[in-house]
Structure 1
Amino acid sequence: MTKAMLGVIGGSGVYDLPGIEDVREEAVASPWGETSDKIRIGRIAGRDVAFLPRHGSGHRLSPSGINYRANIDAMKRLGVTDLVSLSAVGSYKQELAPGLFVLVDQYVDRTFGRESSFFGNGCVAHVSMAHPVGPRLVERLAAAATEEKIEFVKGGALVVMEGPQFSTQAESLAYKAQGFSLIGMTAMPEAKLAREAEITYATVAMVTDFDCWHPDHDAVDVKSVIEVMHHNSEKARRLVANLARNFPHEREECPVGSHRALDYAIITAPAARDPALMKKLDAVAGRVLSA
């Protein structure tokens, strides 16, 4: 059995994770470039935890300027098996009000300026994204939220836009009409890269606003978003601490196959593979490339 290790990527408003003991900060070297920041590695209730602020210290990185590949590769190198993404989002549904947490189960990728795969020319791979979220990880998050009395909803589709601007009203109304639940700027390509790295992934979407479709909230501004983020961040820390305390010591098999996503994904013949790319894939795809 593989040892389980929990990783957490903190989004807007979540730049630290109090409660971690025996903490060390590590600048994990990645062939994909620099991570958003040093990774804080420690233990909660005897469980190993790795924490990375997605936007870096002081929120210096734009959603489009984050090196998602380096972040996921570094988590993989540290031994992370399960990754929780904390993300501030806007809501398309009246019942998903600011302050609520949503454990999403689907994504709609509307980003266009980001590197979205570890693979490419020289080693082509196609992983399944039909079910992008780990169901058992979501169940553990739901149990933690229940114990901490944090209001949450399970399920919903999260649209991921390029940003950094907020939506136009026409875009907001269009996404709402299609039945999507939420909109954010950072879950993609993060979720795709986690799947390629065979890391089980889940998003805790923390609602901060109603986007601009709502007749009583027809504009989104940073000031109002930050106010809600401060309340959400405290709940997020309690949620993660509870999750870590009850996390298994050994990795659980993922019902949707995230732990073995590369089993049949690589299509390039061994003789045709690019050695330089193979070297960069040592952590992400080492399990299958060394077989």
Structure 2
Amino acid sequence: MRYSKKLTIQLLFAIAGLAILSVFISNLTVNLIRTGMGLNFNWLIQPSGFALSESSLPYKPSDNYLWVLFIGWINSLKVIIAGLILATIFGLIAGIARTSQNILLKKVSSLYVALIRQIPLLLQLMFWYFVVFLSLPESPIPILGSMVIISNQGIIFLGLNLSVEFSSLLIGLSIFSGASIAEVIRGGLNSISKGQWEAFRSLGISENLGMFRIVLPQALPAIIPGLTSQYLNLAKNSTLAIAVGYADLYAVSDTTITQTGRAIEGFIVLLVSFLLLNLIISGGMEVINRLTMKSNYHF
């Protein structure tokens, strides 16, 4: 009886959702017919006619819109993947530091999380772009020997030339997302019973080894769901790249819509592209979650 009631409620919600969706589609169709535009994607094979500030693949203005949108998608994917790696490193360090017995590390990491989470991401991106990078001298400044070289043209890291737009976006996104990831990691570590911490300390195992070999693996099932949400937020926040002039998917789509006047089709392409990005992230994290659950079961 209870199962039947739940099934009925779910069915009603599904019908309501489909009804709302049908109303939106109907209104869209009527408006398109009224304006005489209709849905048309033929513009995708027309020459784009505009240049890109940054391209990971060969591109010239005579290439079609489909190709330039793909390049924008690749640019987005590039900064998102790099951002996920850096943000995870920042978040892991800060999250572990917040559970540390070292008072100084705990205070510094708490200040980082509190400060960064209170400042809007857009302001942070503009800070890194206008205040930090564009204020640097033109002459290269070596850091860590010759491993990293910075200037107002961007960053050279191990031979890779990162533009000032890409560098500003990457650092801003990583630091901002890292603060939220730190809280997710701290919550996961705090979910582990104190007995686990006391056990490895009583065995004379060092804090670092005990953290990464005993505590952190057990905390991963509690960390990964929240981590997935933060990864998806980072992917969506990357659309603020337009504020620093980075040619990501959103910036390229905005220019494309302006030139072609095909706003609805442009937003459909943008929606499908970001849906694909988010599905890749969610699918990857789901695989990691299953592997983690399996390894913790054997553990």
Q: TM-score, normalised by structure 1?
A: 0.28
Structure 1 or 2, whichever has the larger Rg, is 2
Structure with higher strand content: 1
